[in-house]
């Protein structure tokens, strides 16, 4: 018997094809086994592929699982944008709120219909501030990134932060240094085992564009991602980090900013970040962006 799956390639955080962050999406994943999803993700070789399963609960509208070429991960920003964009297109959705079950819990996603197209707003998971990376681990990290202590932004602690899938926040002074980074991926992978975090988000506030607050690059070689073009699950927790450490001015209720990523690898895209603030602390993070379908195909699997 042949099983047929709807397979899409989608560029997220952009409206221009072949930019932003590519994700695979299978919209009718029911019946796929774990090993099959892993093989499909490896074959597509995007940083993540999203598999949409139908809901068997009234608590959520869809169950989505995310795989890198080597691992399943709890949640992924750009693949969430891609999955819900395609789901909205397939189902002709109007502006609405849906809920998806993920490895980071059941979370809301807002579908905004505008100009016969869609923008997707993802509410991220629980904000968690992890270890500050210092001492030997900090020296190992600087060596792995091939940067010096003097390249770092003052008062920006190197810290693990999560809104569902943790990242190490590394603030550096200059956009030039950011765009010429040449990390040692083996060293980064080894350090990931020690610090129990696989993603490194190197960012700067050195922006020439008044509309863009952050420029960044994200490396996660330990899970098969040498460099991720545009990362919702890095820029979201970065927003929480900026509020928590009081690094950016805000009105004590909401911080909104745009981050650009992917320029160094010629796949630039823009993430819009919103951080809800109570008592000077971040309490909820949303990331939003556009998407564009590159191709739709059918995957045939034989039993």
Q: What average pLDDT does range 5-11 have in this prediction?
A: 98
Paired sense of beta strands 105-114 and 96-102, if any: antiparallel
Rounded to the nearest integer, the mean pLDDT of the chain is 97
Domains of the chain, by residue range, sit at 2-123+290-302, 128-288
What is the CATH architecture of 2-123+290-302?
Roll (3.10)
Q: By C-alpha distance, which of 33, 32, 38, 29 is closest to 68?
A: 38
pLDDT at 171: 98
Assess whether the region 2-123+290-302 and the region 128-288 belong to the same CATH fold.
yes
pLDDT at 303: 84
Q: What average pLDDT does range 212-227 have in this prediction?
A: 97
Write out the two tokens for 171: 């603030």
Whose tokens are 């993700």? That residue is 41
Cα–Cα distance measured from residue 25 to residue 23, given in angstroms and rounded to the nearest whole number: 6
Catalytic residue among 48, 157, 227, 272: 48
Cα 3–111–80 angle (5° rounding)?
50
- Our answer to whether residue 48 is catalytic in this structure is yes
Instruction: Name the superfamily (CATH) of residues 128-288.
Output: Diaminopimelate Epimerase; Chain A, domain 1 (3.10.310.10)
132 pLDDT above the threshold of 90: yes
Cα–Cα distance measured from residue 124 to residue 76, given in angstroms and rounded to the nearest whole number: 10
pLDDT at 158: 98
The answer to whether 257 touches 248, Cβ cutoff 8 Å, is: yes
pLDDT at 237: 98
User: What is the tens place of the pLDDT at every residue in 49-108?
Assistant: 999 999 999 999 999 999 999 999 999 999 999 999 999 999 999 999 999 999 999 999
pLDDT at 36: 98
User: What is the tens place of the pLDDT at every residue in 247-266?
Assistant: 999 999 999 999 999 999 99
């Amino acid at each position: 018997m042949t099983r047929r799956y709807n397979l899409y390639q989608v560029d997220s955080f952009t409206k221009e094809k072949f930019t932003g962050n590519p994700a695979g999406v299978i919209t009718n994943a029911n019946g796929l086994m774990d090993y099959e999803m892993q093989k499909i993700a490896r074959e597509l070789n995007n940083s993540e592929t999203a598999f949409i399963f139908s809901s068997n609960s009234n608590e959520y509208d869809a169950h989505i699982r995310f795989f890198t070429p080597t691992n399943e991960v709890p949640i992924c920003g750009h693949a969430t944008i891609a999955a819900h964009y395609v789901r909205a297109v397939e189902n002709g959705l109007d502006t609405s709120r849906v809920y998806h079950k993920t490895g980071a819990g059941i979370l809301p996603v807002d579908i905004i219909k505008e100009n016969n197209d869609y923008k997707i707003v993802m509410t991220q998971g629980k904000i968690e501030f992890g270890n500050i990376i210092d001492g030997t681990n900090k020296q190992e990290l600087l060596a792995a990134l091939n940067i010096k202590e003097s390249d770092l932004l003052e008062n920006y602690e190197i810290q693990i932060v999560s809104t569902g899938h943790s990242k190490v926040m590394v603030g550096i002074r200059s956009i030039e240094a950011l765009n010429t980074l040449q990390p040692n991926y083996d060293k980064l992978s080894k350090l990931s085992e020690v610090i129990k975090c696989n993603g490194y988000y190197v960012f700067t506030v050195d922006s020439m564009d008044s509309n863009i607050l952050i420029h960044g690059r994200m490396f996660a070689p330990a899970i098969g991602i040498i460099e991720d073009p545009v990362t919702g699950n890095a820029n979201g927790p970065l927003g929480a980090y900026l509020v928590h450490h009081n690094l950016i001015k805000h009105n004590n209720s909401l911080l909104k900013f745009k981050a650009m990523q992917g320029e160094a690898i010629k796949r630039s895209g823009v993430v819009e970040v919103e951080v809800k603030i109570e008592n000077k602390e971040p309490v909820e993070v949303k990331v939003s962006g556009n998407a564009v379908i590159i191709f739709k195909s059918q995957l045939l699997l034989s039993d």
